[in-house]
Amino acid sequence: MCWSATADLAVGGCVAAVGVACVAQVRHLRDLPLAALPLLLGAHQMIESFVWHSDGGTGPATLAWAVIALPLLPVWVPFGVLLAAPPAARRRLAVPAAAGTATAAVLAYHLATGTVTAGIRGHTLAYVLDLPRSWTIITGYLVATVGALLLGDDRVLRLLGILAGLGAVACAVLWRLEFVSTWCALAAVVSVVLLDWVRRRPDGVARSATAAP
């Protein structure tokens, strides 16, 4: 996700700190999964620092990184958005949630039955797992993650969806060039936007007290 073990550890720590701030400011329990996403992203980057130190390979850090990146995120993001959404938006958000569940099931199966390997390529880490019909899986993954953000009613989350989509394209291009991995920068942007989202969420208790006679 970053260009070195040191960068992964430093940026991961910063992202996790933003995650702590997000969780601390949550007003509604239903917002907690999405607010905790920066904690997960920060832990993900710090795990990758161990992959760098191991020169890649198939060790526990590589597997832990893959479990978060592959089956966990396409379930965590759409269901986090679904839980935080108002009832009127939940029907259409069921589509990315279903896509994420199906995609995660396929990825979890291949992780359980195959071997994921990490290798250093230039200033990036490449993770290899034998997956059939990879474009189908990529489509399901993007529908679950970026699609869930774009289909929500919240303007901040829709902005996050646009940034995540553009960031995914930029990261993929730079990774193919083996120039530098920019996922750590994307994770940082996602975390800051989510902190803004948490701060903007309405206080239901205060609103109810104002409306009371």
Over residues 120-176, the pLDDT tens digits come to 887 788 888 988 877 899 899 999 999 999 998 899 999 999 999 888 777 666 555
CB atoms within 10 A of CB 30: 13
Residue 55 sits at φ, ψ, to 5 deg, of: 55, 40
Please give the model's pTM, rounded to 2 decimal places. Answer: 0.88
Beta bridge partners, 120, equal 125
Among 155, 156, 159, smallest CA distance to 167 is for: 159
Instruction: Classify domain 5-208 by CATH architecture.
Output: Up-down Bundle (1.20)
Distance CA 176, CA 187 (A): 19
Distance CA 1, CA 11 (A): 10
Distance CA 80, CA 85 (A): 9
Over residues 70-81, the pLDDT tens digits come to 999 999 999 999
Residue ranges per structural domain of the chain: 5-208
